[in-house]
Structure 1
Amino acid sequence: MTVDPNLDTGLPIRLLHDRVLVKVDGSEGERRSTAGIVIPATAAVGKRLAWATAVGVGPHVRAVVAGDRVLFDPDDRSEVELHGRGYVLLRERDVHAVAAERVESEPTGSTGLYL
């Protein structure tokens, strides 16, 4: 498992199988549009995906490494608190996209689909 060195856990943590531990970016409260309009947290927007930063990955995770930004559905998540900080635990298959500089160098034609 790869763990972010900034993750202060006290005890070693080993993520199992295809699990990805992420820290959600920003708050889930009100947000601001690109035009500067404040959108309250109670505004219904439909199904909206969220970005997070991977802080740890299990041994069977193939496409995500610690430090990557991942896109996931916030409705399908398991929340966990470690030393006062909130994290989300996902399966790799629940990650919709990965944003990292190394993604550019991967071979084209790689779909990342599970067969």
Structure 2
Amino acid sequence: MTTAPPDPDATTPPIRMLGDRLLVHLDAESAERRSTSGIVIPSTASVGRRLAWAHVAAAGQGVRQVRVGDRVLFDPEDRAEVELGGTVYVLLREKDVHGVAQSDAAGTGTGLYL
């Protein structure tokens, strides 16, 4: 399984999304995280309702507010996974996306601190 975000210059996934569906790739930081004391917390650990970040790899023609390449925030509990070409993607509906990250003025980072 590949965990790095897809290269924007790479070819699109071999699938055409329908309706309001999104195909997203989880950020590497969503896989696991560290506590302030340095303990590694796996993504399978239950810590309440923690939202996850992902990059949009493909979008259906009915999607209005999200574009391919956007970084989106969603609830990882409500997801279905699919493997295409050795890469694991998550299938979402546009209504399941809680937010889209915006770049700061310098063009780096998300500008969001949640």
Is TM-score (shorter-chain normalized) higher than 0.5? yes
**C-alpha RMSD of matched pairs (Å):** 2.3
Per the TM alignment, residue 87 of structure 1 is displaced from its structure 2 partner at its CA by: 0.2
CA distance in 2, matches of 1:29, 1:68: 19
- In structure 1, the residue matched to 2:91 is 89
| Pairing of 1:29-44 with structure 2 (within 5 A) | 29-33=31-35, 35=36, 37-41=38-42, 43-44=45-46
The one of 30, 47, 67 aligned to 1:45: 47
Q: What amino acid maps onto 2:10 in structure 1?
A: N
Residue 60 of structure 2 corresponds to 58
Q: Is the 8 A contact 1:54 1:67 kept in 2?
A: yes
Pick from 66, 69, 90 the counterpart of residue 67 of structure 1.
69
Summarize the Cα distance change of 1:8–1:68 in structure 2 as closer, same or farther, 3 Å threshold: closer
Identity %: 54
The alpha carbon displacement at 1:14 in A equals 1.4
State the alpha-carbon separation in 2 of the partners of residues 79 and 70 from structure 1. Answer: 16
Distance in 2, Cα, partners of 1:65 & 1:16: 14
Change (3 A) 1:56 1:43: closer
CA contact (8 A) 1:30 1:38 kept: no
Q: Distance in 2 between matches of 1:59 and 1:8?
A: 15
Deviation string, structure 1 residues 68-87 (Cα, Å, up to 9, x no partner): 00000111001000011000
Structure 1: which 4+ aligned runs deviate by more than 4 Å?
Answer: none
Give deviations 1:42-79, integer Å, cap 9, x for gaps: 64311111000001110010110011000001110010
Q: Is the CA contact (8 Å cut-off) linking 1:54 and 1:66 kept in structure 2?
A: yes
Q: How far 1:6 sits from its partner (Å)?
A: 1.8
Q: Is 2:10 the partner of 1:6? A: yes
Which segments of 5 or more consecutive residues in structure 1 lack a partner in the other structure?
102-115
Residues in 1 aligned to 2:63 and 2:51: alpha-carbon distance in whole angstroms: 21
Q: Deviations over 1:15-67 (max 9, x none)?
A: 1000011000016554124x462232264311111000001110010110011
Gaps of 5+ in 2: 1-7, 104-114
